[in-house]
A and B are shown apart, each in its own frame.
Chain A
Amino acid sequence: MIKLAINFLSAPLYSFTAFCILFVLAMKRMDIVGTKKFGMGLLIFTLVIFGWMVSDPVFFSVISLPDNIPIIILNALVFWSTWFSLYKGHQNDLRIAAGEPPIEGTPENREKVWAWPNLVYTELFCIIACTIFLIVWAIFFKAPLEEPANPTWAPNPAKAPWYFLGLQEMLVYFDPWMAGVVLPVLIIVGLIAIPFIDINPKGNGYYTFAERKYAIAGFTFGWLALWIFLIQIGTFLRGPNWTFYGPFEFWDSHKVVAENNVNLSEFFWIKGLNVALPKNIFVREIMGIILTGVYLVAVPFYVTKRWGQDMLSRMGGIRYYLLVFLVLGMMSLPIKMYLRWFFFLKYIVAMPEFELNL
């Protein structure tokens, strides 16, 4: 009964929404999240739930696939590093609020030491530890090799390497040009551009949350919700034919899910105006083109007029609009996901004639 409920609630629509709400709550209540008590509590809670889930044979068979073991490790590492940095930031926020310098700024921490041996020894031990770990891993878990590649056959489900499963999950909602080329390039360019865009000196050299709330929340949302979370879905919850399967659901390749997807042009002309699709493709896609224009041009101008004046004058035009463009690019993913879930919308602009679909 509980398992059925979990299967149902882990569908991307509910689980992604729940994840976003929890994320916003966590960012709002840093006074709770940034404490040791919360970290320990969450860890124990997660371990208990995980232990209970592992006792289920179906769930165990999925997570014990050799491909999926890195994801378990990744979850533990992401959980730890996210919470630990928030905890450190919260500690410093309390100190700064009390008028003290951050922990990194205390005299004993400002003392300088030599890279050799202090840093190099640490690095050496890290290298040895990683090597041992990889050797042990390679001994105990065989590489999941398959038969030689065959251009007329694909395994089912055909899964990308684990670090690309978020991208593969993105591709469910986008054209390959968008999710395979444009958005990854935007992600990389955006990450490279962070030092250029971010000219706020707060938080340089010390952990903090309160001083950089929006920057941290925005970045962490993109990282946790739009990358890590999608990797989880792509890894554990996508089975044969890339159909969604709950964590306790057997991967029955004959599970039928109705998902007849419709383009915006078909919504507009056939369902809305009750006429056939126009022959001219630009007339056909006029609604999508207008909406895309509104999203990319009108929304930034309105937001700037309403809330962004202060930021615009602080950052300068190029930085500000680059930031706005990157944020719009990032938010296009959840927008597209919700449109697909609610309206079965396939493409906002669908021009397969030019291989252009948004």
Chain B
Amino acid sequence: MSDEAKTGLNRREFFSFLAVGWITFGAATAGLLSLIFRFTYPNVVFEPAMDFLAGVPDDYPEGVDERWKNGFGVWIYKKDGRLVAMSNICTHLGCIPTWLPAESKFKCPCHGSGYYPNGINFEGPAPRPLERFKIYRNPDGKIIVDKTKVFRYEKGEWNAAEAFIEV
């Protein structure tokens, strides 16, 4: 009688084995899924900061300035006493236009959208002008460009208080 009890599992033991098995399986699966989930996030992010110090207005020549384009994705444009920070993302499908000094225009390499130096779209499929970023002076008089706030021309925001600075 005792031999028989040892060879087989009774009902209670079966369920405790079952529970242990399922919990182990569930934990292993959850662990694996959490690894996969973690894998979707990069270890190092090369994203530049959303706002940056951009010197003083006298640093910039009249017209388009490319010095922050590679680091922060911003063109500084100075014209008629106004200094603005332009996004370098095409409003058509988000490629990065090229500044062509000889033709005095921005031209997108993906679908050929063209913009005037002030960011107004004039050729190709781009539906609206390049966006502008918030730009202001800190107490020291240095320029700060804040990419978290966007000003859109078609919404009439380019004359808003922080869309440009007077120089």
Does the CB pair B124–A157 fall under 8 Å?
no
Contact A152 to B102, CB < 8 A, known contacts A171-B92, A171-B93: no
Does the CB pair A172–B125 fall under 8 Å?
yes
The verdict on A329 contacting chain B, using a C-beta distance below 8 Å, is no
| Docked pose: A171 CA to B90 CA in angstroms | 13
Contact A240 to B72, CB < 8 A, known contacts A259-B124, A352-B127: no
Q: How far apart are B150's CB and chain A's nearest CB, in angstroms?
A: 13
| Docked pose: A166 CA to B128 CA in angstroms | 24
Which of A153, A171, A258, A355 lies in contact with B111, CB distance below 8 A? Answer: A171
Closest to B109 in A: A156
| Docked pose: A261 CA to B109 CA in angstroms | 17
Does the CB pair B127–A175 fall under 8 Å?
yes
The verdict on B96 contacting chain A, using a C-beta distance below 8 Å, is yes
Does the CB pair A152–B71 fall under 8 Å?
yes
| Docked pose: A258 CA to B125 CA in angstroms | 14
Does the CB pair B127–A172 fall under 8 Å?
no
List residues of A (158-194) whose CB comes within 8 Å of B's CBs: 158, 168, 171-176, 180
Which of B69, B93, B100, B111 lies in contact with A152, CB distance below 8 A? Answer: B69
Contact A254 to B127, CB < 8 A, known contacts A176-B92, A176-B93, A353-B155: no
Contact A152 to B122, CB < 8 A, known contacts A176-B93, A180-B93: no
The verdict on A256 contacting chain B, using a C-beta distance below 8 Å, is yes
Does the CB pair B98–A156 fall under 8 Å?
yes
Q: How far apart are B29's CB and chain A's nearest CB, in angstroms?
A: 33
| Docked pose: A89 CA to B53 CA in angstroms | 70
Q: How far apart are B45's CB and chain A's nearest CB, in angstroms?
A: 11
| Docked pose: A259 CA to B111 CA in angstroms | 13
| Docked pose: A154 CA to B95 CA in angstroms | 7
For the complex, would chain A's binding face be called helix, strand, loop or mixed by DSSP majority? Answer: loop
> Contacts of B47 on A, CB cut-off 8 Å?
151
Instruction: Sort chain B's interface into a size bin.
Output: 20 to 34
Contact A158 to B95, CB < 8 A, known contacts A242-B108, A353-B154: yes
Contact A151 to B122, CB < 8 A, known contacts A171-B93, A241-B98: no
Does the CB pair A260–B123 fall under 8 Å?
yes
Contact with A along B123-142 (1 / 0, CB 8 A): 11101100000000000000
Does the CB pair A155–B109 fall under 8 Å?
yes
The verdict on A90 contacting chain B, using a C-beta distance below 8 Å, is no
For the complex, would chain B's binding face be called helix, strand, loop or mixed by DSSP majority? Answer: loop
| Docked pose: A357 CA to B112 CA in angstroms | 17
| Docked pose: A156 CA to B103 CA in angstroms | 16
Does the CB pair A261–B95 fall under 8 Å?
no
List residues of B (47-62) whose CB comes within 8 Å of A's CBs: 47
Contact A173 to B125, CB < 8 A, known contacts A152-B96, A154-B95, A154-B96: yes
| Docked pose: A355 CA to B128 CA in angstroms | 9
The verdict on B159 contacting chain A, using a C-beta distance below 8 Å, is no
Which of A180, A261, A355 lies in contact with B123, CB distance below 8 A? Answer: A261
Closest to B105 in A: A256
Does the CB pair B110–A158 fall under 8 Å?
yes
> Contacts of B127 on A, CB cut-off 8 Å?
175, 346-347, 350, 352, 355, 357
- Of A150, A156, A350, most B-chain CB atoms within 10 Å: A156
Contact A243 to B112, CB < 8 A, known contacts A152-B70, A261-B122: yes
Q: How far apart are B124's CB and chain A's nearest CB, in angstroms?
A: 7
Q: How far apart are A152's CB and chain B's nearest CB, in angstroms?
A: 4
Contact with B along A238-273 (1 / 0, CB 8 A): 001111000000000010101111000000000000
Does the CB pair A352–B128 fall under 8 Å?
yes
| Docked pose: A260 CA to B47 CA in angstroms | 35
Does the CB pair A260–B122 fall under 8 Å?
yes
Does the CB pair B155–A168 fall under 8 Å?
no
> Contacts of A176 on B, CB cut-off 8 Å?
92-93
| Docked pose: A357 CA to B126 CA in angstroms | 10
| Docked pose: A254 CA to B112 CA in angstroms | 13
| Docked pose: A155 CA to B109 CA in angstroms | 7
Contact with B along A305-327 (1 / 0, CB 8 A): 00000000000000000000000
List residues of A (90-143) whose CB comes within 8 Å of B's CBs: none
Which of B92, B110, B114, B122 lies in contact with A154, CB distance below 8 A? Answer: B110
The verdict on B107 contacting chain A, using a C-beta distance below 8 Å, is yes
| Docked pose: A313 CA to B72 CA in angstroms | 62
| Docked pose: A51 CA to B102 CA in angstroms | 37
Closest to A262 in B: B122
Does the CB pair A172–B102 fall under 8 Å?
no
| Docked pose: A258 CA to B113 CA in angstroms | 12
| Docked pose: A355 CA to B124 CA in angstroms | 16
Nearest 9 pairs of A and B residues by beta carbon: A242-B112, A352-B128, A156-B109, A154-B96, A241-B107, A158-B109, A152-B73, A176-B93, A259-B123
Could you list 7 further interchain pairs (A-B, Cβ under 8 angstroms) beyond the known A152-B70, A152-B72, A156-B109?
A152-B88, A172-B111, A254-B102, A259-B114, A260-B123, A261-B123, A346-B127
